[in-house]
Chain A
Amino acid sequence: MSFVQPIFLAGLLLAAVPILIHLINRRRARRLDFSALEFLLRRDPRLARRLKMKELLLLLFRTLLVMAIPLALARPYLPAPSSGSAPLGAPRSVVIVVDRGLEQWVDDDRVDSYRPLWTRTVRKAREVLSRLPPGSTAAVVFADRGRPSLLESHLSRDPLKLSRKLSRIKPTYTRSDLKDAAGLARTLLSEEGLEHREIRIIASFSVSDITELESLDFRGVDLHLHPINRKKPVSNTRLSSVRQVRSSDGGTELITQVENHTPDSSETAVTLQLGEQVVRQAVQLDPNSSKEVRFGLGPTDVFETAEIRVDDDDFPPDNTFFFQRRRQEAMNVLVVNGSPRPIRFQDEVFFLGRAMEALKQVRNELLVEIVAPAGLKPATVVDRDVIILANIHVLDRDVAHTLKTAVEGGVGLLVTVGDQSDSDFGDSLRDLLVLPLREIHGSDARFSAEGGIAVGNIDVRAEGARLLSGAGGESIRQARIFRYAVLAPPSPAETNISTWITLENGAPLLLERPMGRGRIMFFGTSIDFDWTDMPAHPGYVQLISVLLDHLSGGGIASGRSQIHPGQRWAISLPRDVKIRSVDIKGPDSTVKTEIRKTGERLQLIVREAKVPGSYQVYVHLADGSELNYLFSVNVVRSDKQRIPASIQAVKKIENAVGKKHTPTKRQADPDSTVVAGTPIWHFLLLSLILLLAMEAYTAFKV
């Protein structure tokens, strides 16, 4: 007999209560000198014995009554026997599949203070190992996602050694995969197992785990599932991202997103740790909501790595968000020059190129490649951060599709217009324009005093456009626009379009629309001097800088810092460097790296940084110099992706799997009521009622 809720068995201790009451009552019984009773009993000695018997019987009933309640609550059931069932005490081969994934960090609600579920998982596994009959063999498989691993590479004859080793293991920060691990366990048993074989899975089961396990074939193996699940919902407040935005005063604004994954409202303190500087902000969060928390840093607040924390909750690993100072190195920009001219200053991208040259002076690295429209191939688009289509005419359909896919994957696209922007342009770039192109407005009365239209408004409320609120923005306001493209008005449903700059006649000049993980921006006039005198204004460089920042990730520390434990990611290295060695310093010393060269591109691939924290990568070059990179690994736990399975569901599956592989005779008898896994707590409840009735009878009818 096994129990669904064995915790309630602790209630059996209550059986002592009626016995104690009985003994105390006997001791405290009020004395009464009364001869009649003794005389009647003396006349019938059997009666005295009968009375004693009834009294003991009543005590027994009461004790059983008290015991029946926790027994019924523990919900006993008869476990399903399978064809592989070993006789008691017979040696067997047991493979314990242990879930050491992210969920094991969740607080065990059986104790008051924080203790991860992992403690209970290890205890259970060690208990299984310690109870193996002599001569048994055992192995422990860790259900690590993608690559289940063994504590020892074979079935060991020394379970105690396994137990000792297991006590030193810590849970990982990646999700687990029970299916693969169970598969490995099955293979191990089929290759090395004794006659009687068992697989015991000790895990925080999710609904998907259960579904996956159900599909596996456990023929010839006894399957036991030991759920190490939490009963109460996990109360988790976490930080999902940190963005770094340059503020108008030259400093940085850190914007972090605090999420409350709790059905109740929550109050937490968000703490920014910047070296020795600590800043705290209290946040009140509604149930299942998120809130933005901003920390303003001055221009002198320089840091390399930092972390932001929230208060302790049921899942500590995602309470701290590690991040590093945003760097602009290796921004890879592809400029498609739609109107190249032999005279440099007449070239479409001459002023854009000049602006980017100026930006290179203040940035670590800005990789710019300028190609003609003919050079725009799907392969050219790969690994770009920003692509600028400057006054191109038409786009090949495949290229347009590739561009769209790239944008959806996170690339920023800026489309500017010019003398080649006609209806063909509008048609071929239909999906890459913020809105459909309607017509071109303007006159050639340029450079006259009254010619052109002035910039009307810069909407500093738009993310990114805020950086144009200073002197740069004022400079842009001085610019005149002589010709400009007019787009179709947005439908009321298109609420995600934001207008950064509007002309004084109300026509939008610079618009933005997010698309997938990337964004598209449309500059409604030429990027050069043809349709506007904007390149002549100092604010032009700032505008280009802001656009590049925004398109390459909007000043966000980007997806690059959103590395999850175990995730692989690539660092783009400068071309033509000779690498001598690579060192990585961080909380996980087992991180692996590899250098990969694709065409002319050189990448450093970082693999399996399994522990959250900030990492420093030192690339030592052959010439003795050194490149330095930073990255952060952060844990994200998603409740929505993982629905915990109820203990009943686990037991149900265990029984179903057990039944599925029992001999054919059982399956041929569908009417049989005595089946494996039959819950017998109903029977106990009935016993409880019967005991109550007997108690009443005994009390009143002796």
Chain B
Amino acid sequence: MKPLRNNERLSELLTRVQGMRLDAQGLVEGFLSGRHRSPHHGVSIEFSDHKEYTPGDDLRTIDWKVFGRSDKLYIKRFHHETDLTARIILDGSGSMAYGPDESMKYRCAGVFALALSYLFLRQGDRVEMQVVSDQVQGRVPARPGLGHFSSIAQMLESTIPEGETALGPVLDGQVERFGRRRAIIILTDVFEDPERLFRPMRALRARGCSVLLLHVLHGDELDFPFDGVRDFRSMETEGNLVTEPQLIRSLYLKRMRSHLETITTGVQQSNVGYLRIRTDDSLEAPLYELVRRGLP
């Protein structure tokens, strides 16, 4: 595969994200102080609430102005801001190899994942990157600092998309490992049973994680623009179908719409973030949208 780091689309994205920040809307747990709100109260300039003084509380936090007005001892509490651990899971199945050159799904998803990594690392967050098909094909553990960027890129470049899409089962096995209140970003074409994918997502949500599903599709998969007589070969199994695409176009589009609706419903029910990325379109638009919305 061509190196992702010299990719024009990536360079462009990285240029765009220079002044941006990506915040977690929910609470995240981190080790270090950072720019993301923690569920814990701590030292910051942002007031959280008052709490009745109980022995053992730090006397420095007593709000003496309240005591003067009400003769009761209350302490002032402030939000604690912490760093974030983003776990980015990239679909590395065979179907992600569809698309010519720059619009190849795996390549585009990789570029997008690198842009996100750069954003997180620049904010001081920690980024873990995994490439998964029906097994984990490559993994870079969570580390902070921009120095981590190149190791992530190197791992993505060295991984070839192959095998069946089975992110659901793989994620199932990792839910416990992911820990609580982490940001989980999944880039996949969801060419597997959506329910199988949403089950671990719901589990992660229950554990307080921010979960974002980035649905990566090529324009051909949405429009089915083929003609003549084609021998459609699966990129994940041995199956094939020789037919005239015009004959089945309307049926294909109907089935594809139904599949997308299933995913949309699953997203809503699982309360996860969702963004669709068309690899034959600009990648900036979905990135801007993501930054605008923030992590769920």
Interface residues of A (CB under 8 A from B): 25-26, 28-44, 47-48, 51, 54-55, 58, 698-702
A55 close to B247 (CB less than 8 A): yes
Say which one of B199-207, B251-259, B285-293 lies at the interface with A.
Answer: B251-259
- Convert B246-267 into 0s and 1s, putting 1 for each residue whose CB lies closer than 8 angstroms to a CB of A: 1110111001100100000000
Binds A, one of B67-75, B142-150, B235-243: B235-243
Q: Is the CB of B229 within 8 A of A35?
A: no
Can you name 9 A-B pairs with beta carbons within 8 Å? A26-B242, A29-B228, A35-B94, A35-B98, A37-B248, A43-B193, A44-B255, A699-B247, A701-B250
Cβ of B233 and Cβ of A42 under 8 Å apart?
no
Task: For A25, give the chain B residue with the smallest CB separation.
Answer: B229
Query: Would B232 and A34 count as touching, CB distance under 8 A?
Result: yes
The smallest beta-carbon distance between A37 and chain B, in angstroms, is 5
Inter-chain contact B239/A42, CB cutoff 8 Å? yes
**CB atoms of B229 and A58 under 8 A apart:** no
Residue of A nearest to B190 (CB): A39
Taking CB atoms, residues of chain B closer than 8 Å to A698 are: 247
Shortest CB-to-CB span from B99 to chain A, Å, is: 10
Query: Is B61 located at the chain interface by the 8 A CB criterion?
Result: no
B58 at the A/B interface (Cβ < 8 Å)?
A: no
Residues of A within 8 A of B226 (CB): 32
Chain A residues closer than 8 Å to B229, beta-carbon distance:
25-26, 28-30
- Find residues 204-243 in chain B having any chain A CB closer than 8 Å to their own CB: 220-221, 226, 228-237, 239-243
Task: Name B254's closest neighbour in chain A (CB-CB).
Answer: A40
A34 touching B98, Cβ below 8 Å = yes
Shortest B28–chain A CB gap in Å is: 34
CB–CB B252/A37 < 8 A: yes
| A35 and B191 contact, Cβ closer than 8 Å, known pairs A30-B231, A40-B259, A55-B243 | yes
A47 to B258, alpha carbons, bound, how many Å?
A: 14
Which chain B residue has the least Cβ–Cβ distance from A702? B247
Q: Specify which chain A residues have a CB less than 8 angstroms from the CB of B232 in the assembled complex.
A: 32, 34, 37-38
Complex Cα spacing A41 to B256, Å: 11
**Does B103 belong to the interface (CB within 8 Å)?**
no
Q: Does A33 contact B233, Cβ atoms closer than 8 Å?
A: yes
Q: Does B133 contact A (CB under 8 A)?
A: no
The complex places the Cα of A29 from the Cα of B229 at a distance, in Å, of 5
Q: Do A31 and B241 contact each other (CB < 8 Å), given the known contacts A39-B191, A44-B255?
A: no
Q: Chain A residues with Cβ under 8 A from B82's Cβ?
A: none
CB of B38 within 8 A of chain A? Answer: no
A34 and B242 contact, Cβ closer than 8 Å, known pairs A39-B191, A40-B259, A702-B247: no
**Are the CB atoms of A38 and B237 closer together than 8 Å?**
yes
Q: Across the interface, do A35 and B231 meet the contact criterion of CB distance under 8 Å?
A: no
- Whether the pair B241, A51 counts as a contact (CB closer than 8 A) is yes
**A13 smallest CB distance to B (angstroms):** 24
Min Cβ gap B40→A in Å is 44
Inter-chain CA distance A40–B241, complex, in Å, is 12
Partner of A38, one of B97, B193, B228, B241: B241
Q: In the complex, which residue of chain B has the Cβ closest to the Cβ of A26?
A: B242
With A36-B98, A36-B221, A39-B192 known, 14 other A-B pairs at CB within 8 A are: A25-B244, A30-B230, A32-B226, A33-B97, A33-B233, A34-B221, A34-B233, A35-B191, A38-B236, A39-B234, A42-B237, A47-B251, A51-B241, A702-B250
Give the shortest distance, in Å, between A498 (CB) and chain B (any CB). Answer: 84
**Shortest Cβ distance from residue A48 to the other chain B in the assembled complex, whole angstroms:** 7
Interchain residue pairs A-B with the least CB separation, the first 9: A35-B95, A38-B234, A29-B231, A25-B229, A35-B235, A39-B191, A36-B221, A40-B255, A29-B229
A35 to B244: give the CA distance in the assembly, Å. Answer: 16
A457 to chain B, nearest CB (A): 92
Which B-chain residue is minimally distant from A55 (CB atoms)?
Answer: B243
Chain B 44-84 residues near chain A, CB threshold 8 A: none
Report whether A31 and B247 are in contact in the complex, using a CB–CB cutoff of 8 Å: no
Determine the distance from Cα of A698 to Cα of B247 in the docked complex, in whole angstroms: 7
- A30:B98 contact, CB within 8 angstroms: no
